[in-house]
Amino acid sequence: MAVYTEVPDDELAAFVKAYDIGEVVSFKGIAEGVENSNYLLATTKARFILTLYEKRVNRDDLPFFLGLLEHLSAKGLTCPQPVAGRDGEALRMLCGRPAALVTFLDGVSVRRPTARHCAELGRALAELHETGKGFALRRPNALSVSGWRPMAEAAKGRSQAVSPELDAIVAAELDHLEATFARLDLPKGVIHADLFPNNVFFLGDRLSGLIDFYFACDDAFAYDVAICLNAWCFEPDQSFNVTKGRALLSAYHATRPLEPDEVAALPTLARGAAIRFLLTRLVDWLDTPAGALVKKLDPLEYLKKLRFHQQANDATAFGWRP
Ligand SMILES: Nc1ncnc2c1ncn2[C@@H]1O[C@H](COP(=O)(O)OP(=O)(O)O)[C@@H](O)[C@H]1O
Ligand SMILES: N[C@@H](CCOP(=O)(O)O)C(=O)O
């Protein structure tokens, strides 16, 4: 459950007074999520999400995240919109944490995406990349290749608890990626960087909105595509579903055509995306205290995905060619 910080009634009342959003009708912690504390706040005027930013979010990045949501919403992309208080500020403090209110989006996330969902996602991802062009702020990706070795070092010697071979596999893969992924020079811009099914809402088969932009950054567009191939196109047994891969890639390509260099780099990008989520999950797995009220995600799921990508020679492994 991702409610790390409890908000007492009096503090909530004082917080809400800073806005012109009506009277509080209900206020409930949201069980989903990993990074921050989220509450659903209903008032006499509307529903909102109240987020208290927790330890892994750097406060200096908050203007980038909230500014990006404003930019994307203004350009017509359906994502949460920050709500400004009477003073014009969207970001303020609550219970000693930076906190913001954003608009509530209708829709549900899918647990088992179909090829149709993957096509919707591919189109929306390309639209996000196009819509982000023109956003003035910059945020380097702290979780890209130069950040992976330090994470591996933090887990070194402890990862046997997860799998006996993991340290060696990760070290060898990082040697490979530091010689390949690190040398890629691909079209860049604003990427979501965590567009997993839990961060995408649907109404019926139609994609209705994107949430959780708290890993968004400047990086290669095609890296975002690779993150999504990993998150959307593997089956529960970790076999890659080429029908879903084809649906995602062809829908993306129809909206933002991938350049030949981006297509050629997909297997390397997918390996990088696999190691990135393997490592963050591994560090969380090792560092989260027993009994913590947060769902731990399995790092080995991403080792299986990595194994698939290590055998992939080109984009046809994902069921697609331009
Ligand atoms: N704007 C929103 N509209 C509707 N529901 C939301 C919105 N933002 C978050 N949620 C709900 O809160 C949950 C956790 O939000 P998320 O941003 O993924 O948290 P975290 O960053 O902690 O992982 C989501 O799975 C969703 O159910
Ligand atoms: N998508 C990441 C975990 C981050 O969770 P989110 O709730 O912030 O999307 C993973 O699967 O490792």
Share of the chain above pLDDT 90, in %: 92
Cα 277 to ligand 2 centroid, rounded to whole Å: 8
Judged against a pLDDT cut of 70, whether residue 57 lies above it is answered with: yes
Judged against a pLDDT cut of 90, whether residue 34 lies above it is answered with: no
36 in ligand 1 pocket by Cβ < 6 Å? Answer: yes
Share of the chain above pLDDT 70, in %: 98
pLDDT score of 2: 73
Atom of ligand 2 nearest to the CA of 194: 1
32 in ligand 1 pocket by Cβ < 6 Å? Answer: yes
316 in ligand 1 pocket by Cβ < 6 Å? Answer: no
Residues 17, 55: one domain?
yes
Straight-line distance from the first to the last Cα atom of the chain, in angstroms, rounded to the nearest whole number: 42
Spatial contact of 101 and 84, defined as CB atoms under 8 Å apart = no
Sign (positive or negative) of CA dihedral 204, 210, 215, 217: positive
Among 70, 103, 136, the domain boundary falls at: 103
pLDDT score of 293: 62
Cα 124 to ligand 1 centroid, rounded to whole Å: 18
Give 203's pLDDT tier (boundaries 50, 70, 90).
very high
Give 4's pLDDT tier (boundaries 50, 70, 90).
confident
186 in ligand 1 pocket by Cβ < 6 Å? Answer: no
Q: What are phi and psi of 311, to 5 degrees?
A: -95, -5
- The whole-number average pLDDT for the span 294-313 is 94
Residue 110 counted as domain residue: no
Q: Name the nearest CA neighbour of 7 among 56, 40, 55, 48.
A: 40
Give 206's pLDDT tier (boundaries 50, 70, 90).
very high
Cα–Cα distance between 167 and 200 in angstroms, integer? 33
Which CA distances in Å does 195 have to 61, 168, 228, 302? 18, 29, 6, 15
Which ligand sits nearest to residue 69's alpha carbon?
1
pLDDT score of 318: 98
Instruction: Kindly provide the b/e burial profile for residues 260-279, where b requires at least 16 CB atoms within 10 angstroms of the residue's own CB.
Output: eebbbbbbbbbbbbbbbbbb
Query: Which residue's CA is the closest to the ligand 2 atom numbered 10?
Result: 277
pLDDT in tens, 231-288: 999 999 999 999 999 999 999 999 999 999 999 999 999 999 999 999 999 999 998 7
- The whole-number average pLDDT for the span 158-179 is 95
Number of domains in the chain: 2
Cα–Cα distance between 257 and 259 in angstroms, integer? 6
Which CA distances in Å does 224 have to 38, 89, 139, 144, 196? 25, 31, 15, 12, 11
In the chain, the amino acid numbered 284 is D
Give 291's pLDDT tier (boundaries 50, 70, 90).
low
Judged against a pLDDT cut of 90, whether residue 32 lies above it is answered with: no
CATH number of residue 90's parent domain? 3.30.200.20
Residue 229 counted as domain residue: yes
pLDDT score of 295: 77
105 in ligand 1 pocket by Cβ < 6 Å? Answer: yes
Instruction: Kindly provide the b/e burial profile for residues 162-183, where b requires at least 16 CB atoms within 10 angstroms of the residue's own CB.
Output: beeebbebbeebbeebeebbee
Cα 87 to ligand 2 centroid, rounded to whole Å: 33
Residue 1 counted as domain residue: no
Give 319's pLDDT tier (boundaries 50, 70, 90).
very high
Residue-range definition of the domain harbouring residue 93: 9-103
Pocket test for ligand 1, best of 55, 212, 295 (most atoms within 8 A of CB): 212
Tell me the pLDDT of the chain averaged across its residues.
95
Cα 193 to ligand 2 centroid, rounded to whole Å: 10
| pTM score above 0.90 | yes
Pocket test for ligand 1, best of 4, 27, 36, 38 (most atoms within 8 A of CB): 38
In the chain, the amino acid numbered 296 is K
Judged against a pLDDT cut of 90, whether residue 294 lies above it is answered with: no
ipTM for the complex shown: 0.95
Tell me 108's DSSP state: B
- The whole-number average pLDDT for the span 211-234 is 98
Judged against a pLDDT cut of 60, whether residue 1 lies above it is answered with: no
Give 292's pLDDT tier (boundaries 50, 70, 90).
low
199 in ligand 2 pocket by Cβ < 6 Å? Answer: yes
In the chain, the amino acid numbered 25 is V
Cα 224 to ligand 2 centroid, rounded to whole Å: 14
Residue 97 counted as domain residue: yes
Judged against a pLDDT cut of 60, whether residue 58 lies above it is answered with: yes
CATH number of residue 267's parent domain? 3.90.1200.10
- The whole-number average pLDDT for the span 179-194 is 98
210 in ligand 1 pocket by Cβ < 6 Å? Answer: no
Residue 82 counted as domain residue: yes
Which CA distances in Å does 18 have to 39, 65, 114? 17, 21, 43
Atom of ligand 1 nearest to the CA of 107: 4
Among 103, 129, 144, the domain boundary falls at: 103
- The whole-number average pLDDT for the span 18-44 is 93
Residues 180, 35: one domain?
no
Cα–Cα distance between 77 and 251 in angstroms, integer? 17
Cα 30 to ligand 1 centroid, rounded to whole Å: 8
